[in-house]
Structure 1
Amino acid sequence: MSKGIYIVSVWPSQGQSQYYQNADTISQATLIDATQNSVENINFSISQGLSIHGNTYDNNGLALSGINIFVSAKNSDHWGFAQTKSDGSYVISGLEARDDYIVEARRKYYPPVYYHSNGIVMDSALASLVSTAGNQVNMTYYAEASISGNVLNTQRQPLSGIRISTESKKYHLQHACYSQLDGSFSLEGLPLSDDYEVMAIPSGKSIYQEQSLSNISTGNNSLYFMLTAGYTLSGVISSENTGDPVSGVYITVSSITRDIFKRTKSNSLGEYEITGLASSNDYAIIAT
């Protein structure tokens, strides 16, 4: 290791994490000064800590294995992790005694869910706080459905790499995926609803404009986006005094009526380009 000032911590699989000299958080850690010489005898005494445990089930009451369970304290940086076993059970140990833990479950292709005393919720702000002195923290998933379709351009060519995002106000849910090489996409693991807003969002450098569809129901497997090419704004940033190109300048373009906000940075030649802009007469351009 090179000479310097270090923060040292331990994160045991069974036991409570700790920063040097019994500190609970990084801000409380004692710094190790290794600017001159090697430092020895950096010792830790590990506490077993407390635990949160429970089970996860599908909507039919069957155990779910391989679910990633995270706990995080609402009012500090204490956290823990475990993965459910074949019987759906999990134990997260090494936790500090607290009553403000949020328990989150992450399942492949599903949006994150959070424990609530009346079931599960999809917004961490609505989660019930859990104590290390409490009972089992069990979570049961909902009956899932999907929304799928294709993304094309106006020449009916498939567009890949388009971010497909969806929101449900009913469930306080946000979820996303990307279109494949053939333009297809599939939003999996959604709760049943008819209020989804689904958006096709090209990357910042794409020539295509965003598009959104509202009041989409789960089970709709023939959703189509046809994206149109937008306008391009380009130019060169130069010094007022010398006329030399200026690199690293941020160019921000925004439109209130179109709800557009895009940003880029000038290259070594002072050049910049912003693509995929919709037609509008209220664009504001700012260089910083």
Structure 2
Amino acid sequence: MSVSGIPVEAYATQGFGYGKDTTGRMPDKDVNYIIRGLSPGIYEVSIDPPSKYMSEVKTIEITDQDVNLDFELQNPSRMIKGTIYNMEAGKPVWISAWSPSVDGKVVTVTGTGNVEYSLTGLKPASNYRVKFMSPAYPDQYYNQQTQWMDADKVDIAAYDAFDIDFTIEVNPTISGTVSFNNAQAGDSAWIVAFSLSKGTEMVEVTTTAPAYEMQVMKADDYVVSVWSNKYTATPEKKFVDTTTGNVENIDFSLNSGNSISGTISDQDGQPVSGITVEASSMSTGSKFATTNASGVYQINGLESVDDYILSVFITESAPPFFYSTDGSVRDQSWATEISTESGSVQNIDISIITGERICGMVINDQFKNIANVLIRLESESLKVRHSVRTDSDGKFVFTGLPSGNDYKVFAKPTPTSPYQSQSKEQISSNVCNLYFILTQAYTLSGVITDTNGDLCSKIEVELIHDDDDFYGYYRTDSSGFFEIKGIPQNSGYALIVTAAGDTAYLPFKENKISITQSLEKILPLHLHWKYGDICGIPMVIL
């Protein structure tokens, strides 16, 4: 049976041949994809279907005639399996496995006691992160971690993974009641408990169920607050220590607060509906509203402060407009601050323009599209800055731009990408043939150990070059491994190694590093002099 919507790419192993198509129904033809315009040569033809099918690559040679190449979709067969210990009746949990290279899956687990789970039909990959989720318990990541960045990666590139276990502990709780004042039926808010060391837990409260209780980890740095797009909270936040057990009576009162309202219109004075308007304050955060059919918005639940900045977002591809008494502006530093210290503010009207566009594509030196590249645009004279990402076809677009000819556009791949950044200057608006051809760069990798040779986790590794505007970052898991990719050839790099949240290790810095090839390093961290211990000087072994 023919399957539609499958991307098919062909790129030459030597030279610059490249083509792409997506499978679909073709009347009067017995094929469902055609890649045209390929010159003779050796090609790798790949399919990258959704997660329920395997990716596949085939090699063909094109000479002086067309080639028919069929693919039969295969189901992935890799598996992650483990046990959840201490499950309780009526409290389901979800186990997810996700890889940035192949996506992932989620499975629901119910039962009591020690319950096995399995995630089947996974694509092979070496960098899965497995997460335990439940409204009844704090989130966990494998292996006994509370934050995504610290999760041990599960490798099923060649074999299935077993014993990926989670244990439900008897954790402390934070509880209280939220009072809704002058509320409408069905109104809700979220209680947020944030710990720098343990992560974030959230629970919803409503006018009909204002009491809450959430399980959290043992930590002395929880900050509990209420998030609502309609109300202000009193008090604004509370500091909570759960290291000694449950904490009760963390109560809040919600009030309607102040509001900012007005109308959004286009350059012809016509109202614009469905536009997001945001009021942000350095001291109280941000809240938003959406314009109605008459272009009218009203942002509620605002605190009494004097520094609200009002911004208007047309689409994700367009830089925002900011309110100013001199007219709408594109640079936040030119915006007029709005005060609600005397109460609600009305008639804050903003006019927006359709503007012009800049668009293009990011490819590699084999003419293969590169997805998820951060594209940053800025103009010093027009005071415009904005960022988008390339889509699955490597394409990007900026809209709503003021007319100009001094735009700078930067293409910055993800930290796990092997490609180096690139920039283009003096770009005019309404240009839609802007191409970035990214080349692979160098990699710095290695392991972090202590002086006994034991592997170190939660170590932050940074590589910086100020003149080249390069910044690379990696945080180790229990394997101690780090890897920074996409490093341009240059001298004068600074390598900084810091033990995140652990002052037992001395920070380490090495300057004037030259990168002329990919490097591997072993970095042994030394302990501080502490409670009579002796600290040493970190060494680097190349």
Q: Tell me, in whole angstroms, the C-alpha distance in 2 between the residues paired with 1:96 and 1:184.
A: 41
Change (3 A) 1:254 1:16: closer
What corresponds to 1:174 in structure 2?
Answer: 385
Of residues 53, 73, 82, the one that matches 2:289 is 82
Q: List per-residue Cα deviations over 1:19-60 (Å, max 9, x = no partner).
A: 3xxx363369xxxxx9487x69x79584x5544321111122
Contact 1:245–1:269 (CA under 8 A) maintained in structure 2: yes
3-state SS of paired residue (2:333): helix
Q: Tell me, in whole angstroms, the C-alpha distance in 2 between the residues paired with 1:79 and 1:281.
A: 42
Q: Tell me, in whole angstroms, the C-alpha distance in 1 between the residues paired with 2:247 and 2:493.
A: 56
Q: Which amino acid aligns with 1:155?
A: Q
Of residues 277, 280, 285, the one that matches 1:69 is 277
Q: Tell me, in whole angstroms, the C-alpha distance in 1 between the residues paired with 2:254 and 2:462.
A: 52
| Mapping for residues 1-288 of structure 1, pairs under 5 Å | 3-4=173-174, 6=176, 8=178, 10=180, 17-19=231-233, 23=234, 25-26=236-237, 35=246, 46=255, 49-73=257-281, 76-77=283-284, 80-95=287-302, 100-109=307-316, 110-131=318-339, 132=343, 136-240=347-451, 242-288=452-498
TM-score by length of structure 1 reads 0.82
3-state SS of paired residue (2:289): strand
Contact 2:284–2:303 (CA under 8 A) maintained in structure 1: no
Q: Which amino acid aligns with 1:105?
A: V
**1:94 Cα deviation (Å)?**
4.8
Q: Tell me, in whole angstroms, the C-alpha distance in 1 between the residues paired with 2:303 and 2:481.
A: 53
Contact 1:146–1:189 (CA under 8 A) maintained in structure 2: yes
**1:284 Cα deviation (Å)?**
2.3
TM-score by length of structure 2 reads 0.46
Q: List per-residue Cα deviations over 1:227-246 (Å, max 9, x = no partner).
A: 01001111222222x22322
User: Percent of aligned pairs with the same residue?
Assistant: 31
Q: Tell me, in whole angstroms, the C-alpha distance in 1 between the residues paired with 2:329 and 2:174.
A: 45
3-state SS of paired residue (1:125): helix
Change (3 A) 1:235 1:55: same
Contact 1:78–1:96 (CA under 8 A) maintained in structure 2: no
Query: Which has the greater radius of gyration?
Result: 2
Contact 1:9–1:17 (CA under 8 A) maintained in structure 2: no
Q: List per-residue Cα deviations over 1:172-215 (Å, max 9, x = no partner).
A: 22212111222221112222221211011100111000000011
Q: Tell me, in whole angstroms, the C-alpha distance in 2 between the residues paired with 1:77 and 1:184.
A: 37
Stretch moving more, 252-261 or 2-11: 2-11
Contact 1:152–1:159 (CA under 8 A) maintained in structure 2: yes
**1:95 Cα deviation (Å)?**
4.3
**1:137 Cα deviation (Å)?**
1.1
Q: Which amino acid aligns with 1:214?
A: E
What corresponds to 2:130 in structure 1?
Answer: none
**1:88 Cα deviation (Å)?**
0.8
Structure 2 gap segments, 5+ residues each: 1-135, 137-171, 188-228, 240-244, 499-542
Q: List per-residue Cα deviations over 1:118-171 (Å, max 9, x = no partner).
A: 111123332112345655111111241110111111111111111111011123
3-state SS of paired residue (1:116): coil
**1:98 Cα deviation (Å)?**
5.5
3-state SS of paired residue (2:274): coil
Contact 1:17–1:24 (CA under 8 A) maintained in structure 2: no
Q: Tell me, in whole angstroms, the C-alpha distance in 1 between the residues paired with 2:252 and 2:453.
A: 60
Q: Tell me, in whole angstroms, the C-alpha distance in 1 between the residues paired with 2:265 and 2:484.
A: 47
**1:285 Cα deviation (Å)?**
2.0
Change (3 A) 1:136 1:3: same
Contact 1:149–1:224 (CA under 8 A) maintained in structure 2: yes
Q: Tell me, in whole angstroms, the C-alpha distance in 1 between the residues paired with 2:247 and 2:354.
A: 61
Structure 1 gap segments, 5+ residues each: 29-33
RMSD over equivalenced CA pairs, Å: 3.2
Contact 2:232–2:301 (CA under 8 A) maintained in structure 1: no
**1:90 Cα deviation (Å)?**
1.8
Q: Tell me, in whole angstroms, the C-alpha distance in 2 between the residues paired with 1:100 and 1:94.
A: 15
Q: Tell me, in whole angstroms, the C-alpha distance in 2 between the residues paired with 1:112 and 1:184.
A: 21
Q: How many residue pairs were aligned?
A: 276
Stretch moving more, 10-19 or 162-171: 10-19
3-state SS of paired residue (1:186): strand
**1:96 Cα deviation (Å)?**
5.2
Contact 1:163–1:200 (CA under 8 A) maintained in structure 2: yes
Q: Which amino acid aligns with 1:108?
A: T
Contact 2:362–2:395 (CA under 8 A) maintained in structure 1: yes
**1:117 Cα deviation (Å)?**
0.9
Q: List per-residue Cα deviations over 1:53-82 (Å, max 9, x = no partner).
A: 2111112222100111222346x4275432
What corresponds to 2:524 in structure 1?
Answer: none
Q: Tell me, in whole angstroms, the C-alpha distance in 2 between the residues paired with 1:245 and 1:98.
A: 49
Q: Tell me, in whole angstroms, the C-alpha distance in 2 between the residues paired with 1:137 and 1:159.
A: 42
Contact 2:464–2:493 (CA under 8 A) maintained in structure 1: yes
